[in-house]
A and B are shown apart, each in its own frame.
Chain A
Amino acid sequence: MYIKLIQLQKERSEAMPNKPLSELRPKERGRVVKVGGEGGVHRRLLDMGLVSGSEVEVERVAPLGDPIEIKIRGYHLSLRKEEAINIQVEVE
């Protein structure tokens, strides 16, 4: 039973490998599925073109993983780790 559950979980995560943008490594690409964050931050992320469906690629990650630089809609955007944690992406 337990093994089955693990297997099920594994299959699910393989089918939908969603993870926070903060966990992507440089050169990894993905598609935004969900943008979190509070009020102003949330709105700002949407304003910068981070909406569900947009393609992102991680360019560089600073030491200690903060901030990260991503490529989106043909331009470069720097994000704090705390902002990137709230952005769920589907990894290609």
Chain B
Amino acid sequence: MAKKIIIALAGNPNSGKTTVFNNLTGARQHVGNWPGVTVEKKEGTCSYKGYNIKVVDLPGVYSLTAYSPDEVVARNFIVEEKPDAVVDIVDAANLERNLYLAVQLLEMGAQLIVALNMMDEANSRNYRINVEGLSRLIGAPVVPMVAKRNQGTMELLERIVEVAENKVRVKELVINYGREAEEEIAKLERLISQDGEFSRKYSSRWLAVKLLEGDEEVIKKFKEVKVG
């Protein structure tokens, strides 16, 4: 029996996510809907080094708030299903905007791999990206790619297997939000960690930050637990 890996593909719209998905899964894909919302759900499989890799294509999003169904779908999959790896397809020619999503994924404690796509486009604009430096800075593997020419796919698969096998661990990113916010975050975190089930399932810091933001989806989660 082949060992199973589940990965999610995340990324901004127009970052080449679908191209990467097609490169990975070829014709082995099917399309459905996420339960309860009219957001398309694409899944495919691929085999690599004795692994059966299930690839879930998440909706293209800029952020992971509770305001749009696309973002909620993407976020819920990552926090609830905990895929073995989350591949964030990043437009290398548009790093600043794209890395915002990467930072949010890291804050959620996702096992992130950054696929630095459209490297040709970045090069033609004379952008020089220090791939190793970026990887060190964010604490996650970074794979340069040109998805439309199927460049970088093998290296991406290699990194996916490494992360799924726990050879590489991506640490949850902790951003200091300043003294006042941090005091409140700490208080909430203490309360959350008293509930064993919650703190086993989710990052308590992430939940605390979301509660402070007034994130309706996360508030709903807490209400359900109290009632149930």
Contact = CB atoms under 8 A, between A and B. Distances in A.
Interface in B77-110: 94, 96-97, 100
A43 to B, nearest CB: 6
Interface stretch (A1-9, A44-52, A56-64, A79-87): A44-52
B100 A47 contact: yes
A44 B67 contact: yes
B100 A39 contact: no
Interface residues of A, number: 10
Nearest to A44: B67
B63 A74 contact: no
B212 to A, nearest CB: 14
B214 to A, nearest CB: 9
B10 to A, nearest CB: 14
A30 to B, nearest CB: 18
B65 A75 contact: no
Nearest to A48: B62
Given A39-B67, A40-B67, A47 B62 contact: yes
Contacts of A40: 65, 67-68
Contacts of A48: 62, 97
A40 B100 CA distance: 17
Interface string B93-129: 0101100100000000000000000000000000000
Contacts of B96: 49, 73-74
Given A43-B67, A44-B67, A49-B100, A74 B94 contact: yes
A73 B91 CA distance: 13
B54 to A, nearest CB: 29
B75 to A, nearest CB: 13
A75 B97 contact: yes
A19 B43 CA distance: 48
A48 to B, nearest CB: 6
Interface of B: 62-63, 65, 67-68, 94, 96-97, 100
27 contacts: A39-B67, A40-B65, A40-B67, A40-B68, A43-B63, A43-B65, A43-B67, A44-B62, A44-B63, A44-B65, A44-B67, A47-B62, A47-B63, A47-B65, A47-B100, A48-B62, A48-B97, A49-B96, A49-B97, A49-B100, A73-B96, A73-B97, A74-B94, A74-B96, A74-B97, A75-B94, A75-B97
